[in-house]
Amino acid sequence: MLRRIGTAGLLVAALTACGIGDGPAGATPTGGKAAPPAPTTPAAPTTPASRPPANTVERVLAKMSLEEKVGQLFMPVLYGASAEAASGENQARYGAQTPAKVIAKYHLGGVILFPHNVKSTRQVVGLTNGMQRAAGKVPMLIATDQENGLVSRMSALMTDFPGASEIGATKDLMLSREVAKATGTELRALGVNLDFAPVADVNIDPRNPVIGRRAFGDDPARVAKMVAAAVKGFKDAKIAATAKHFPGHGDTSVDSHTGLPVIKHTRAQWERIDAPPFKAAIEAGVDAVMSAHIVFPKLDSSGDPATLSKTILTGLLRKKLGFDGVISTDALNMEGVRKKYNDGEIAVRAVLAGADLLLMPNDLPKAHHAVLAAVKSGRISKQRLDESVTRLLTLKQSKGLLIKAPVASADEAAGVLRSAGHRKLAARAAG
């Protein structure tokens, strides 16, 4: 997700009130003659107090308004060094000056940080803590692209680890895991809880202008093992990981930031080349998978990019590969997804395709309004909306974010960022 601007099954409401008896009607524990049936009395009405308690995700979901649910789907980039800092950019884009006011206005479920948000350790900790306070009753996913190497949004503060291609070349799976754990640990110290990494693309086109050295390599089996190891490392650090860019962005000479790439792999080639790293990531327990703004005719003949393809996101990723976590779009301000539809329609179609997290819409007010209107009209069913919100809340719960957001400490972060141990690991990874 290189941009110019800078868990067990889906937790749907499936916990039912199970009145489990001891056996078939009339049976006795010893198999003897059944006692005469007891006189029947009218069943007492079920009251809220008599129902089994709902799980935490269900309770939170039940208390959310429609507007709050829709807001959970969106993750824009905000401007300003603190949650209360006024910015003309925020005002122009979102109709509110400060990050805190934008978060409150749209009931945002998440934000993504870029280098313009990063000045110092204490400042970033203050920013993330302030954003969490602004979120109110449902804490936020605070994300960034810290792949290491070419794409390192927090490089001003964090250990300079080698990128995926260098780590992949070592063939050292433990190294991949250790670097991911160290990266996640540093992000978590800053108040970031979701990393849009690792890259799961198999870079088989040397002309690829968008993936290249961001990938672990050109061998599907090796990339799959490296990706799985990295996912485990992020889990070790208790931070959410994202495998990207599904269904595979490795064989293209077109940059999806400026155009719409077409991948000409057959279904058999996809199975052999592109799919293995995503399968491995899912088996390793990856929290999220990011879609690619690419057309893949042999997987979906509609001509729509994968981000807007129900055949790919729901049919292939959910049903065939069995992924039940969060599906994130790549940035919706990229030209690869904006060729055919306006910014509101893009957001609606992404949800209908199966996306849960709408990343960086080009026009947040228009996209938010379009999704809200689509739910009200029934184009997006309330059940479909609840499915996505449930996945997002479940992810937050799995990282300890659902009820109370953790508060980052600048002093603790200072002892974690660029620690001696992490610098030693970086040197070992660089060879």
Residues with catalytic annotation? Answer: 257, 330
Q: Say if CB 111 and CB 99 are below 8 A apart.
A: yes
Q: C-alpha angle with apex 78: 77 to 79, nearest 5 degrees?
A: 130
- With a CB cutoff of 8 Å and minimum separation 6, the contacts of 163 are 147, 148, 149, 150, 151, 213, 214
Nearest in space to 326 (alpha carbons), one of 306, 292, 354, 368? 354
3-class SS of residue 141:
strand
- Which of 186, 197, 275 has its CA nearest to residue 231? 197
Distance CA 9, CA 12 (A): 9
3-state secondary structure of 81: coil
For residue 295, report the phi and psi dihedrals to the nearest 5 degrees.
-95, 130
Which residue is it, tokens 């499915």? 387
User: Angle between the 99-106 and 121-135 helix axes, to the nearest 10 degrees?
Assistant: 30
- The sign of the CA dihedral 78, 327, 253, 226 is positive
287 three-class SS: coil
Q: How many residues does the chain have?
A: 431
Q: How far apart are CA 105 and CA 103, in angstroms?
A: 6
**Can you tell me which residue has the tokens 């007492």?**
44
Q: How far is CA 426 from each of CA 34, 219, 230, rounded to the nearest angstrom?
A: 73, 24, 15
* R_g of the chain computed on alpha carbons: 23
